[in-house]
Structure 1
């Protein structure tokens, strides 16, 4: 047995957990349970172990009417936790749990059964005669909780299906029952304080699916089917149950609640740490892409300055500097634009390939689901940006600036042509004006171009994130 848990401290700790006063909600559940003045006996087990047929047999033997909610069927019929008072106890029937169930109904039934066994004075665990091992992990976890002696029982149910006919070989039937009990105790590490009953609640299915059969249908099997021993134990509990069982139930309930919440918090912490790592990794990649983009911007600026300077230099010695400059600049800008477009396309393809690869990773998909939850929206289809539409305005801005500079030069050249010019310096004012125009393009518009590209890629990165 574990050391006693401080219930008040457990409630305060649970209320401090983010999520909305978990301790108060659990306390309301406990108070509803504590309102029972009789001991609560919960029948618990996996699907199709014979829980409902066992309860029917107990009620019939006690001379009680079987309620309409109790259905006997080979199908999965029990979906709710139902209760009935009998033999001085509150007997509860539960849905069958499904070990590692993934569908919605399995999870719902398992959750309801788990909640019921967590709030009970006595638990009766029903297992099939084959002792199905798939449920052992769940049952081992249940056994390890703080059950006081005589508060956890096991029933090996429908034992006439174990393989030996009790009518033909009663000794062999009894020996097989003892063997199965030893096997169950060894598998789940059950000590002597945990009673194990071997029962046959409906020999040869004589009662079938009938809700209220005549009890005489079991007269031939009553001497050996084990129901009398189980019924005597339940009646003894109802007639003289001691408060220690309810106190032990409180300790078990609050300890289990704290453990479950703590386990969930650890899972969430692991998930958040994984998401944080994915976010940091993505942030580092984004910073790397922006750095590459910045390098491309600076390189394109330097290249544009060089091309404009070369065009100016070539125009100086030309008979028609304006025409020569315009032609050279047109050729240079075309080559410069093509080179920039290739570099940017290459970077975009690299970014797109990396993002596409990331999104195939399970941890990245979980990160996107978390991000969608924070945005209160479902993850939508990936946004697709048209590279031409993204960068065309930026390139068009540079082209317009060049044309404006050339127009300015032509206007200035026309005005200056009517003024006398000192001998020997005829080309210098024109060259100066072209230099000024090209300097204006290189210093102002290239910077605008770089800023536009950075803004465009950042927008792309934001959408892709």
Structure 2
């Protein structure tokens, strides 16, 4: 029970539909409902299998009401009705629909008409329903499951007229064997009761609309053409049932509006569930990408830390070994040896760890490339396309008239519900991000482009093939920690030894040049560190010559460690800029941005709430 402050059930359905299909589509639906409510006459829709005699029956009703037969209402041995047509007669509005089950038939147009009809005239063949699919469909309409699968909404008492319009085909002739004919009619009636046992509240009429097709295709028959069959043709009872309907206009129309909104809600609910499943799959795909890339980023962080630690140890070892140089080694020769030894260390270190970084980015690209074959990847792509490019599709607008076919012709609107629901994802995104929506879409567009090109050579950063300070990578220099031992080969000819070492260096490797584009902070730090390390070693060797090295050995070791740290920081900073940072950027480009995942979560919440509300409403429609 609802109090006076509770909106009507139909309004609550509209409120539940709006977050799913958004206002433009819901407004068009409401406009159809308003037209439906404004119809002056009770509508009666003739619905049933092809060749059941719907047009023949309608033709007779029109003639006996004194209504001219329209040109479109033809009767022949072939299929004639391809779309729903309407005509007013006897205070009612009749709608003739295409037959269901016809080859290439327009069953959708026939079922379309049921959405807004006040009364259903179900016209059947004497053999009733032999096709299983037809039988199930008709039973769903009779029971009301067609209008509300969860909680059936059958038509009100007297609003479902079941008519067998060709009773003269049952068997015995009503003229020659009236008693046998009556018995056959009774059997058909019992069969109908069994057929409709789930919903026995049907008004059954077994009639002879046109005995043996005597009127047939006559385009302008007269009432007299149907005389002589009134005692047994069953038409009087049908006309009496139809005559009661106009007085029930308000009651029947209220029930029609409930079925109308219930049918619409069922369509929207199916679309919402599909969209929820799609959004859930898209979110799961985003989470898979995020999880994998988070793992790779952590791996890159660990690799970066290990590389720095290794470099620090290597630099310390190189400087430590140089403390064993001959005391007579000159300053220039020692500077050259420091540069050469450390350059070789940097070469090998940068090449080794650059390859490790490249492996990580290559794995990221391979994962993204393989992910494109997963079903979820296409779902995510479609979802992103909706957010980025799906304009709010204008909902079909009803025209200004109140013709029953304007409001009964609903399927063009229902057919657009999927697009309307997808458009809701974009509008939800815009509401979430407000003025920043364009910037958020740009971020998502960049992510989409990165996904599209991931795995291609151009999409991945190059290997870390450049040593700090712009020194070529592995293979670019001949220096190495092993060669540096030449400077300590002897104490007696130290100057000659270091001179030989210097000439063995490749051209320009005695200088640490700035990277292309100008000298950076890291280059200055590296130069300063190299110079400081050389100065410490020169001082230490001078004290060795004076025999004082033991007094300063521990301090020298500490100073060299600090210098090694300074050199490591500078070298690692350049390597970070040249190798690690581009790799990190490449990984982050493939990570679904927060603007996307937040929007996905919000849309899923909106859909879950609206789906729950619709399910609750459809479980308890008004009686």
Aligned mate of 1:183, from 177, 187, 191? 191
* 1:106-149 C-alpha deviation (Å, 9 max, x unpaired): 434422x11342xx3x4322122232213211222179646555
SS of the residue corresponding to residue 374 of structure 2 reads: helix
Quote the offset at 1:289 in angstroms: 1.9
C-alpha distance 406-62 of structure 1, shift in aligned 2 (>3 A) = same
| Number of the residue aligned with 2:140 | 137
* 1:49-71 C-alpha deviation (Å, 9 max, x unpaired): 32222111222344542112323
Q: Does 1:340 align with 2:357?
A: yes
C-alpha distance 412-31 of structure 1, shift in aligned 2 (>3 A) = closer
Greater relative contact order: 1 or 2 (C-alpha under 8 angstroms, separation 6 or more)? Answer: 2
SS of the residue corresponding to residue 55 of structure 1 reads: helix
C-alpha distance 398-45 of structure 1, shift in aligned 2 (>3 A) = farther
Matches within 5 A, 1:214-363: 224-231=232-239, 233-234=241-242, 236-237=243-244, 242=247, 245-264=248-267, 266-267=269-270, 270-271=273-274, 273-275=276-278, 277-309=280-312, 311-312=314-315, 315-316=318-319, 317=321, 320-354=337-371, 356-359=373-376
Quote the offset at 1:26 in angstroms: 5.4
| Number of the residue aligned with 2:34 | 28
Aligned mate of 1:125, from 119, 122, 125? 122
* 1:193-235 C-alpha deviation (Å, 9 max, x unpaired): 743111233344444444335767666866644345434554x
Is contact 2:365-2:460 (8 Å) kept? no
Quote the offset at 1:401 in angstroms: 5.1
| Number of the residue aligned with 2:607 | none
| Number of the residue aligned with 1:390 | 459
* 1:297-319 C-alpha deviation (Å, 9 max, x unpaired): 12321342245345535644478
Quote the offset at 1:392 in angstroms: 2.3
C-alpha distance 426-392 of structure 1, shift in aligned 2 (>3 A) = farther
| Number of the residue aligned with 1:457 | 587
Q: Does 1:70 align with 2:73?
A: yes
Alignment TM-score, normalising by the size of structure 2? 0.57
SS of the residue corresponding to residue 333 of structure 1 reads: helix
Quote the offset at 1:415 in angstroms: 12
Quote the offset at 1:160 in angstroms: 4.0
Q: Does 1:377 align with 2:390?
A: yes
Is contact 2:468-2:571 (8 Å) kept? no
Quote the offset at 1:445 in angstroms: 3.5
SS of the residue corresponding to residue 83 of structure 2 reads: coil
* 1:328-361 C-alpha deviation (Å, 9 max, x unpaired): 433333332223322333344345445533427x
Distance 1:372 1:76 in 2: 44
Distance 2:316 2:202 in 1: 101
Distance 2:210 2:35 in 1: 35
C-alpha distance 14-309 of structure 1, shift in aligned 2 (>3 A) = closer
Is contact 1:71-1:211 (8 Å) kept? yes
Is contact 2:48-2:123 (8 Å) kept? yes
Matches within 5 A, 1:90-101: 90-96=92-98
C-alpha distance 214-397 of structure 1, shift in aligned 2 (>3 A) = farther
C-alpha distance 23-389 of structure 1, shift in aligned 2 (>3 A) = closer
Q: Does 1:79 align with 2:83?
A: yes
C-alpha distance 69-164 of structure 1, shift in aligned 2 (>3 A) = same
| Number of the residue aligned with 1:440 | 570
May I ask how many residue pairs the two structures share in their alignment? 443
Distance 2:70 2:83 in 1: 15
- 22-31 or 132-141, larger mean C-alpha shift: 22-31
C-alpha distance 414-333 of structure 1, shift in aligned 2 (>3 A) = closer
**Which runs of no fewer than 5 residues in structure 2 stay unpaired?**
130-134, 326-336, 392-421, 423-447, 473-508, 514-522, 545-555, 598-623
| Number of the residue aligned with 2:111 | 110
SS of the residue corresponding to residue 259 of structure 1 reads: helix
Is contact 1:307-1:329 (8 Å) kept? no
Distance 2:454 2:464 in 1: 17
Distance 2:238 2:162 in 1: 10
Quote the offset at 1:376 in angstroms: 3.7
| Number of the residue aligned with 1:201 | 209
Distance 1:462 1:50 in 2: 61
**Which runs of no fewer than 5 residues in structure 1 stay unpaired?**
none
Distance 1:110 1:29 in 2: 19
- 170-179 or 49-58, larger mean C-alpha shift: 170-179
Quote the offset at 1:29 in angstroms: 2.0
C-alpha distance 452-310 of structure 1, shift in aligned 2 (>3 A) = same
SS of the residue corresponding to residue 356 of structure 1 reads: coil
Structure with greater Cα Rg: 2
* 1:424-465 C-alpha deviation (Å, 9 max, x unpaired): 169999998776444212145427744432321232244999
SS of the residue corresponding to residue 52 of structure 1 reads: helix
Quote the offset at 1:252 in angstroms: 0.9
Distance 2:338 2:264 in 1: 82
